[in-house]
Structure 1
Amino acid sequence: MERLSAISCMVVLVLLFGNRNSEAFNLSGIDAVSLSSEGALNVALTLIQGADAKGAVCLDGSLPGYHLHSGFGDGASSWIVALEGGGWCNDIESCVYRKTTNYGSSQLFGSNAFTGILSDKASENPDFYNWNRVKIRYCDGGSFTGDSEDKSSGLQFRGQRIFQAAMDDLMYKGMRKADQALLTGCSAGGLATIIHCDHFRGLFPSSTKVKCVSDAGLFLDAKDVSGGQSLRSFFNGVVNLHGLENTLPKYCTSRLDATSCFFPQNLLSGVKTPLFLLNSAYDTWQVQESLTPPYADPNGYWGECRQNIHKCSSSQVQFLQGFRNQMLGAIKGFQASQQHGVFINSCWLHCQSETQDRWYGDKSPSIDNRVIAKAVGDWYFDRASVKSIDCAYPCHGDCL
């Protein structure tokens, strides 16, 4: 656990977004372990030609893109589309900075390693290895949902158009003939998966089996350790800057403010397509960047605990248990639906489906002896109902 925290600090936390002086939120929104790609299949980039004519461009105006590895055998007519994660930008300064990174410009994209649910090896990904597998790159900073611009800075907030342009291109390349389809994503991509799940379903005829898997996308509207609402304040900036009030699901914005509708807990009741929630009850990104950001803990009381749950005091653990209870309460109605799936473990991590060791392996996180890949596969193929809630910390606190 200490090793994971150290790597995360070195590789990820050096990149900031939002109010960069506050050091409240990191750019990637994913931990360093999920970036590991040793021995993985590297897939070349495809830019979506003509997307700019539709206004579908990255923050800097460059073409959006994706990585596609074609399916084979009995998976040739099945498709997985994964939405890349990578945080958000919530003001002009942070978005101007972001467009100089590979989270804001396709000019900085490279090849992409396919692991976990995107792996092409049956030994690593038994249910989906031979499907057509796609990774859509994230370069808009608004969870593929915005549709706005700032002329003074030249910023383009066109996530909604990027999503549609990618879907149009993939449908043209054969996805329209899919017998089975799965939309997924991690972190900001996991949130985007929840937002776009029904839209994705609507692309296909009723005969196509379509489901969605959100990984680490269950961001909660929770109070931080100072009693403030750090993430709500941050999300409010994202919503206003990216014009999300016009693009978020109407079933939510017709009854709640747009910022509330960027929180999954207020969207889940309206999702009609079968959806699987994969999340940690102690999601490290939310603990570190939403619950205990430095400005909410000026005296550093949470300094060690926020990096390693084993160093938390009894009162700090109690606070984290309250967060877990809030998460379980937020999905109570969702969990009761027969068509949906849930896998909430007690691991100290963020994102699990695209990291090989977490997705499928001898030491992968499991609940009731069922690892994540098996749980998702059982649910997708209707082999079993999956409503898996792990016991509370310290249960399984040393997951990969």
Structure 2
Amino acid sequence: MRFSLLSLLIFPASSASLSPPPTLTKLSLYDFPSARCLDGSPGAYYVAPSLSDSRKFVFSLQGGGECTGLEDCKDRTKGDLGSSDHLASTMDISGQRFLSQDEDENPFWFDATHVRVMYCSGDLFSGNGSINEDIGVFFSGAKIIDAVVKEVSKDWEGGEVVLWTGESAGGIGAMMSVDRVAKSLSNSTVVAAPVAGFYWPTLSEYHGEGASEIDYPFFPEDWVEMAKTWSSVLPSNKCARAVDVPETCLTAHINTPFVESDIFFVESQTDSVQLSLHNGIGDEPDGSVPTQTDYVLEWTANMTSFIKSHLSTGEGGGRRVGTFNPSCYTHTSFSADKPLIDGRHYAQAFYQWYFNGDAEAMQDTCDEGVFHCNPTC
């Protein structure tokens, strides 16, 4: 549901001055004992307060893949993807998509309070706070989300508007948690805008010329194993009851029909990480390998048709679903400069969709047999 801009326009905004760098806050394990990183250190987030006394908030979930095994997860504890012990006291968020304080790059949200939720749980922000005895690490991503939202919103009076976003693993996490967050912030308006977070259970892997090894397969049975390892909090009981493999509700394509919040997908038609890391196509496709080209074309057709199948105008008071879906071989590289569709970048497209009611889909259409056709990539 869209909100009235009038209630927010009474708060003056200026892009002339920038907020100080976001400062680190570590969650209290006394208050939130289950909100831990892989190594048991407290979950953490950075905050850049609004300079305009705005009731606008952007929560952005950091990306960074996932871990499922002992060696993989233990390795992550050596850096900030597995421990808050290594985090700096401040963070540079310039150019960080919906966290940018540049009005041209980030219309409407540039002067919001910006909250960057750090990804140190390795579980796509899905874990329920349990320690996995077999691996010896905590999987607490869902608990970290809940704790950060509770702490940041403790003094809210109602009427706030929240952009719930994240990139890659953070985009996946944003999609599976948005309704839970919206329910906890029932007096506020919440809209999701995941970046590079539209995934689905793998239909087929690429095994032709130039294929690469797949370290993180995403077939339905793999989602079952990952959810078991992480003790994942599934995003929707409705989804879990409606599908054959409830754990696949952790993916946006399976879960979206059951999400009640408004959603705007920022997603490349040829997502480079999904194609290489999870589907095995190897090096960037250039059209010179017929089997690879055929696979990428089919995968791209699935991406565009799957997203299109979820688009909704919200007619009759329901939720709205829109997208910025360029034909580019990229993952999270969305900026004010590129890619563009009809002269607009991703944040402008979101603004026009959400506030002005523009078309649900900004999707490139390539000629038959062509992918990666956007000239601004």
TM-score bucket (shorter structure): 0.7 to 0.9
Q: 1:350 aligned to 2:338?
A: no
Q: TM-score, normalised by structure 1?
A: 0.78
Cα contact 1:117–1:359 (8 A) shared by 2: no
Residues 229-244 of structure 1 correspond to what in structure 2 (within 5 A)? 230-232=217-219, 234-244=222-232
- Residue 235 of structure 1 and its aligned partner are, at CA, apart by 3.4
- Residue 125 of structure 1 and its aligned partner are, at CA, apart by 2.1
Which residue in 1 is equivalent to 2:62? 84
Distance 1:335 1:382, change over 3 A: same
Q: 1:102 aligned to 2:76?
A: no
Q: 1:373 aligned to 2:373?
A: no
Residues 178-327 of structure 1 correspond to what in structure 2 (within 5 A)? 178-206=159-187, 208-222=188-202, 223-226=204-207, 230-232=217-219, 234-244=222-232, 246-256=233-243, 257-292=245-280, 306-310=282-286, 312-327=288-303
Structure 2: gaps spanning 5 or more residues: 1-17, 209-213, 315-319
Q: TM-score, normalised by structure 2?
A: 0.82
Whole-Å separation in 2 of the counterparts to 1:201 and 1:268:
15
Q: If each structure's helix is expressed as a fraction of its own residues, which one has the higher value?
A: 1
Distance 1:176 1:88, change over 3 A: farther
Cα contact 1:211–1:275 (8 A) shared by 2: yes
- Residue 192 of structure 1 and its aligned partner are, at CA, apart by 0.8
Which residue in 2 is equivalent to 1:124? 105
Cα contact 2:364–2:374 (8 A) shared by 1: no
Deviations 1:2-51 (A, max 9, x none): xxxxxxxxxxxxxxxxxxxxxxxxxxxxxxxxxxxxx9974221112246
The AA in structure 1 aligned to 2:201 is D
Q: 1:359 aligns with which of 327, 335, 355?
A: 335
Whole-Å separation in 2 of the counterparts to 1:394 and 1:260:
27
Structure 1: gaps spanning 5 or more residues: 1-38, 293-301, 353-357
Aligned length: 339
Q: 1:387 aligned to 2:361?
A: yes
Cα contact 2:180–2:235 (8 A) shared by 1: no
The AA in structure 2 aligned to 1:67 is Y
The AA in structure 1 aligned to 2:56 is S
Identity of aligned residues (%): 22
Which residue in 2 is equivalent to 1:34? none
Whole-Å separation in 2 of the counterparts to 1:90 and 1:312:
35
Deviations 1:235-286 (A, max 9, x none): 3432110012x54421122233233222221101001110011111110001
Q: 1:168 aligned to 2:150?
A: yes
Whole-Å separation in 1 of the counterparts to 2:169 and 2:31:
23
Distance 1:182 1:221, change over 3 A: same
- Residue 123 of structure 1 and its aligned partner are, at CA, apart by 3.5
